Amino acid sequence: MALMQLIYRSQPFGFDDAMLNGILLQARRNNARDGLTGALIVRADLYLQLLEGPDAAVNDAYARIARDNRHLGVTRITASPVHERMFPAWTMRDDPAQSWLWTAAEVADGALDRASPAAVIAVFERLAQSVPA
């Protein structure tokens, strides 16, 4: 089975803890069902998510997210085949955006538009190294 890794960004609409908990609950249920793993970096101005798993399941999940009214400006950053999962034990790892991530002002100024796919992947690599398998 070919594995796909997809990273996208979006802006939360109506962000609060209850909405985030609902998104995580739904994502974990759907991802477990569909054989997906990944991570979601989240704060009031930013969703940055990595999805990984079977190609069709990743694309289906991304299509659902793009239609979800809790996300604004859904933008695919990268999608490519991979040999192994970065977050094999996590149906959806969630992480509040860390200080090494772009500031809200930098995001508002287009930092993610200018970031290379490799720079965004590096964000998730750091996160993967900071969590237990």
pLDDT at 100: 58
Residue 126, classed as helix, strand or coil, is helix
For residue 22, report the phi and psi dihedrals to the nearest 5 degrees.
-65, -45
Q: What is the DSSP string of 42-88?
A: EETTEEEEEEEEEHHHHHHHHHHHHH-TTEEEEEEEEEEEESS-SST
pLDDT at 95: 67
Which helix (H) or strand (E) segment holds residue 113: the answer is: helix 111-114
What domains are defined for the chain? Answer: 3-130 (3.30.70.100)
Look at residues 75, 84, 89, 86 and name the one whose alpha carbon lies nearest to residue 47: 75
pLDDT tens string for the chain (133 positions)? 689 999 999 988 877 888 878 888 888 899 999 999 998 888 878 888 999 999 999 999 999 999 988 888 999 999 999 999 999 888 878 766 665 578 888 888 988 889 999 999 988 888 888 765 5
